[in-house]
Structure 1
Amino acid sequence: MIRLVPPRLAAPAVAALVLGGALTACGGGSTATSAAADPGTPVSGGTLVFAQQQEPSCLDPQVLGDMHQALFANQYLDSLVHQDSTGKIHPWLASSWEISPDGTAYTFKLRTDVRFTDGTPFNAQAVKVNFDRIISGPGEGGSAAQYLIYVTDTSVVDDSTVRVTLSRPFSPFLAEIAQSFVGIQSPTALARDKDTNCKSPVGTGPFVVRSYTPGSEAVLERNADYNSAPASAEHQGPAYLSKVVWKFIPDDSARFGAVSNGQVDAADGLQPVSEVAARKNSKLAVISHDYPGHSWGLDFNTKIAPFDDLKVRQAFLQATDIDAALKSVFFGLYERPGVLSPTTTHFAEQYRSTYTFDLAKAAKLLDEAGWTGRDSDGYRTKNGKRLAVTWTYYTETAGGPDLIRYRSVAEQVQATTKRAGFQVTLNPIASGFPAFLEALQAGSSHIFIQKYTLNSADVLRLLYASPDFIAQYYLDDAELTAAVNEASTTTDPARQATLYTEAQKIYSDKAYGTGLFPESVRVVSSASKAHGIRLEPTLGLLSLHGAWVNP
C-alpha cells in the first residue's frame, strides 16, 4: 500500500507541545505561537468542541489506516509501549518486555489492572486477537499490517504474558507498535462485524466513543476509570474533560471561522493564510508539528530516460527553487525537509538541502549530459529530442487537502525548471490509487509524488527497499537497499545511526528525488477557553487527555 494522506505524524525528535499554556517556539519543525498566558490550574468537567479537517473513513485505525484515523484513535486507544520525544521506548500497557538474543522474539509482561471501556479485561489474549486481526483481518492492506509485517506468531504464555515471534530481527518493531494504528482494541468489540466496529470502536484510553454520526460528528465521553496513561503523560488518571464533541468540517475557511467566532474551541488543518492571521490574534493559540517520515516530495523514475542519467537528475534539482516555493505557498511558515522530515529519528541535517537553486550549475550539468541544444520554445534538446518530462501526482480529490498545496509547489517547480530548459507536464490523477499505479506500471511518467508518515527512519526501507511500495517501479539501488535493511536488523544503536545517515547520503548523492515540504499537524484554539491540548511525541498527534476548558 501507499500512504499519501496524513498517514503518519509525529516527532520522536522533539518534545510534545501544549496548547493553552505559556509556549515558546521549538526548532526541528515544531512551533508553538500566539499562546495565551498561563491559564492556571486545570479543572475537571465541561465539553470541548473540536473540528477535524477530514473525516476518517473508519474510526478503527486497523482498517486502512490514515492519519485522520490515527488522530481520532489517539483519544480512545492505548498502545503496548510509548515512545518519548527522543525516540526512547517506555512501558505503557506492557509493563516490561524481554527481547531474545537473536532479536526475533519479544515477550511482553502486561499490566493486570486495566480493562477496556466495555468491561472486557485487558490481557494476553486481547493482544493476540488484535495482532492476529491486523495481520489477517479486515485491514485491507492497511498501515498497521506494515508494522507487523515480520510477525509470524503471537502466543499467550499466560494471562499477563504474551510472546510475539518475528521471522527476522526487526529493530524498529517497538517504535512502530507505539503508534495508535497498533493500539489495542477490545476483543469483544472486534468480534462484531467490521462496519459496526468502524462506527463504535472500543479501547482502554481516556475517552469512550459514545456516538458517531457520519458526515457530522462523533461524541467522546470521559472514561472515568482510566488508569493506564504512560508515565510521561501530562497527568495521570481520567481526562479532565467530561465530553468532546468532535465535528467534521472539511471547508478550511468555515473551520477556521468556527474557532474565531467561538462555535468551536479548537480545530486542526490550519491553512497557511489563516495561520498568519491567527498568529497575530491574541484571542487564538496555535501549535504545529511536522510529522516524521518521508515528507511531501518527488522521486525520479530512474529506469527511463532522461532521469536514468545522474547529471539530468542533479540538474533538475539545481533548477528547483524549493525555498522560494515554501515562501510563496506557505508564507515562510514551513521548513524545507530532506528525504526525511527533520522530526524523524536519525534525520541527517547535512542532507536536508544538498541541492540549492542554481541555474548556472543546472546548465553546466545539462551540457555535460549532452542536452546542449535549445528549440524555439527555449527547451533543451539532445539529438533532436526535447527534454520533456511528466510529473504524476494525486489531486486533492484522491489524496486529501494537502494535495492542493502540493500542486501549487509543483507548479512553481515547473516554472523554475523551465528556465533551465525542462518541459514539465503535470499529470494530476483524481481517480485514486489504481490509476496512479497504472501510470507507474506503464513506465511513461518521469516524476512521482512521494510521502509516508512513520515515526522512524525505517520509512526508507518501506519506501525504497520493499516490494510492497511504489518505488519498486522506478528505483533499484542495491547499496541503498543493503543499508536500510541492515539498519532494520542491527541491535547496535550506533551502527543503526550510521546506516540511516549512509542511506540519506546515497539518496542525496544519487539525486533520487527531494523533499518539498513537510506534512504537519497545525491546531488553532481559543486562547481563553481551551487549554492543555497537546501534540504527543510518537507521531505529533493531538491528545486531549490533559485538555480542559474554563467553566
Structure 2
Amino acid sequence: MSPDNESARPDRRARGTLRRSRGRWLVAGVVVAALVAVSVVVAVTRSDSDDAAGDTPTHHGTLVYGVAGTQVSLDPAVAATAVTSVINRNIFDSLIVQTGPDTFAPWLATKWTVSPDGTTYTFTLRDGVSFHDGTPFDATAVKASLDHVVDPKTKSAYAASLITPYRETRVTAPNVAEVVLAQPFTPLLQALSTPSLGIQSPKALAEPSTSYRPVGTGPFAFEQWEQGRRETLVRNAAYSSPPDGATHTGPAYLDKLVFEFVPEDATRFGALTSGQLQGIAGVPPVSAGQLADRAGFTLHSTETPGLNYNVYLNGTRGPLQDVAVRRALSAAIDVPKLVDNVYFGRYPVADNPLTRVTAAYDASARGELATYQPELAKQLLDQAGWNRLDGDGYRVKDGRRLSLVWPYWPEGTREQREVVAEGIQAQARSVGIEIQRPKVDTGTYIDKYLIGGEYDLVDVSFARPTPDVLRFAFFSTNTYAKAGGNVALVNSPQIDTWVTDAASTTDPARAARNYASVQHDVLKQAYIIPVYTPVSLTGFANTVRGITFDAQTYPRFYDAWLAS
C-alpha cells in the first residue's frame, strides 16, 4: 500500500472496480510530503526557477501536472491518497495553515483560543468568503464539514482518525465556531490544517452521495473528472482567502489546472522532458540527477515527514508471534544495500518508524533495531526451534515450514517497491525463511488480507508532519477494519498509554518522551523493518514560476504562474 510519493489504501467496497467515487480509501505509502532534512519546507517556499530579478506574474494559461496515482474519490473526507490531497489542496481552504513542525497561522480562521481544560477550541472566522457554489462561508459550514467527517455514513478512514476525540461543533455566532472534544487533543490544529479536513460547502454536502462534487472556497474550482485519466480545475475568480504566507492576494494566476494520471514512471518523466507536461510528481530516482542537470527544468527533493516506508510484521499469527523470529527476519535483511541499489542514494535508509524530519524523531532508538547480521538471524531461528531444513533449504519446526505471506498488490505499489520486496525475499531465503508473494487484485487484497488478516507482512509508508502518526500506526484499536493504520496488529497497552498521553498533554517534553518510548519499543519488539525515507521528488519546467509547498510537501499552485 503506498502513494506515488503517493499510494492508496483501497476502498473496501471497491472490490477491484474502483468505480464508486466515495469509497473508503486511506494512504498507505508515501504520500508526497515533507520537511527538508534540516529546515521546514512551508507554504512560502519558492521554486528555484523563480526569477527574483523581476518577471511579473500574469493571469493566463493552463498548467498540466502529472501524478503517479489516480483519483479514486473526490471527497477529501473519504479518500486519503496523496493524489486526492494534492488536488484538493487547491479546491479546499483549511481553518489554519501549518507553518512549521509545531507552528500554525490563520487561514479561514483569523484567530483561535483553547479552553483551560484543552477540550474546546474557539475559532473566529473570516467574513465575506463564499464557496464556489455561492454559499456563504460561516460557522455552519465548519460544523457541517466536521460532522460529515465523523458521520458513519461517510465511512471516512483517515480523516476521521485525525479527530478521534471530536464531539461536536457549536455555532455560537455566524463567524464563531466552537470545536468541542471529549478529551484534550493537542494534534487537533495540525489535523485541521490538512486537505482531508478542508472546509466544504454545506449545500454540496447535503446532496446525495451519488451526486457529490467537491465544492470549497479555494483558489480553484472543480470542473471535470475523467476517472483514471485527469481532473480539471478552473480559477475561482472571486477568491479572497489565501493563507498567511501566500505571496499575493486575490484570484490565482492560472486559468486552469489539469492533473493528468500517469502511473508509469518512464512515461511521466518523458512527458515532462518532451513538454507534454509542465510538472510531475514522483520523478524516478534513477532520472533525478538527469533532470537536475538538464537545462530548462527544476528538481525539488524533500524528505517526507511521518512514517518511513516500513515492512510491518503481523505478530498475531504464525511464526511471527515469536519476537525472536521477527528479529531474525530483520537481521537477515541488508536494508542499506537494497535501498542503495534500487534508489541510487536518493532515498535515505530508514532506522526508525518515523522519518528523521518528523518532530520527536529519536535517533537513539536505532540501538533497538536488529540490523543486518545473517549469522545472528540463524542463531535466533535455531533458538526459536526452527533448527532443521527441508529439501528446499527452508527451516521447519514440528513438520511445518517457516513460510510467511506478503501479498503483492500491483495497483497500490509505487517507487519500485516490488524490487525491494524481491531483494528482501531473496535475503530471507538465505537464512531459511520463505516469503510467499501472491499477486492479488484489489478486491482480494481488501477482503482476504486487509480485512481477513491472512498476511504476515505488509509494506506501508504514511506522510503526516506530526509524531501523532505513531498513534495512527500502533494504537491497538486502530486496525484497518476500524479505520486505522495498525497493520502490524500491535496490541500493546503500554503503547496505547504512551500515544494517548502524548496526544493529550500540553507539555512538549512529556510528549517527546512518550513518542521516544514508542519508537524504542516498536524496534525492540520488531513490529517493523524500516526500509527507506520517502522523498518527494517533483520536477517542473522553468516556465512554471511561483510553485510553493505545504508542510507535507504537497505542491500548491495558488501563487504559480506561467512565464512566456
On whether the aligned pair clears a TM of 0.5, the verdict is yes
Distance (whole Å) between structure 1 residues aligned to residue 315 and residue 274 of structure 2: 51
- Decide which of 16, 37, 40 is 1:15's aligned counterpart: 40
Out of 512, 519, 532, the residue aligned to residue 546 of structure 2 is 532
Partner of 2:327: 314
1:422 aligned partner: 433
Residue 342 of structure 1 corresponds to which residue in structure 2?
A: 356
Q: Secondary structure at the match of 2:172?
A: strand
What corresponds to 2:279 in structure 1? 266
CA contact (8 A) 2:26 2:79 kept: no
Q: What does residue range 401-550 of structure 1 map to in structure 2 within 5 Å?
A: 401-402=413-414, 405-432=416-443, 435-439=445-449, 445-470=455-480, 471=486, 474-527=489-542, 529-537=543-551, 539-550=552-563
1:217 paired residue number: 230
Preserved CA contact (<8 Å) 1:396 1:430: yes
Secondary structure in structure 1 of the residue aligned to 2:438: strand
Q: Which of 45, 60, 64 is the aligned partner of 2:79?
A: 64
Q: Deviation digits for residues 352-396 of structure 1, max 9, x if unmatched?
A: 58333222332333343343334444333445544x232323412
Deviations 1:155-211 (A, max 9, x none): 10001111111122222111111101100122223233334333xx22221222234
**Counterpart secondary structure, 2:321:** coil
Shift in Å at residue 220 of structure 1? 2.5
Secondary structure of 1:286's counterpart equals strand
Cα distance between partner residues in 2 of 1:251 and 1:509: 38
Q: Give 1:197's aligned residue.
A: 212
Structure 1 pair 450–212 and aligned structure 2 pair: CA distance change class (3 A):
closer
Q: Secondary structure at the match of 1:74?
A: helix
Aligned partner of 2:144 among 116, 121, 129: 129
Change (3 A) 1:443 1:43: closer
Q: In structure 2, what is the Cα distance between the partners aligned to 1:320 and 1:233?
A: 45
* Counterpart mapping for 1:388-399 below 5 A: 388-397=402-411, 399=412
Q: SS in structure 1 opposite 2:91? A: coil
Query: Which residue in 2 is equivalent to 1:231?
Result: 244
**2:320, 2:456 within 8 Å by CA — same for their partners in 1?**
yes
Deviation at 1:536, TM superposition (A): 1.1
1:250 to 244, 259, 263: 263
Question: How much is the aligned-residue C-alpha RMSD, in angstroms?
Answer: 2.8
1:502 CA displacement:
0.9
User: 1:96 aligned to 2:96?
Assistant: no
Q: 2:465 aligns to what SS in structure 1?
A: coil
Unmatched runs of 5 consecutive residues or more in structure 2: 1-23, 481-485
Task: Quote the offset at 1:69 in angstroms.
Answer: 0.9
Match of 2:167 in 1: 152
Q: What residue ranges of structure 1 are gaps of 5+ in the alignment?
A: 24-34
Question: What is the SS of the residue equivalent to 1:523?
Answer: strand
Partner of 1:180: 195
Amino acid at match of 1:114: V
Distance in structure 1 (CA, Å) of the matches to 2:75 and 2:452: 34
Structure 2 letter corresponding to 1:500: Y
Question: Given residue 72 of structure 1, which amino acid in structure 2 is its aligned partner?
Answer: I
Q: CA offsets per residue over residues 42-71 of structure 1, 9 Å max, x none?
A: 412222222222231233312333221111
**What residue identity is the alignment partner of 1:108?**
F
Superposed CA offset, 1:106-139 (max 9, x none) = 1111112322233322111111111111121753
- Asked if 1:78 corresponds to 2:93, the answer is yes
User: 5 Å matches for 1:4-43?
Assistant: 4-5=27-28, 8-11=31-34, 14-16=39-41, 23=48, 40-43=54-57
The answer as to whether partners of 1:390 and 1:424 remain within 8 angstroms in 2 is: yes
| Cα distance in structure 2, aligned partners of 1:145 and 1:188 | 21
Which deviations, in whole Å up to 9, do the C-alpha atoms of 1:6-65 show, x marking residues without a partner?
Answer: 575533574227999674xxxxxxxxxxx6876743412222222222231233312333
Cα contact 1:466–1:472 (8 A) shared by 2: no
| Partners of 1:20 and 1:285 within 8 A in 2 | no
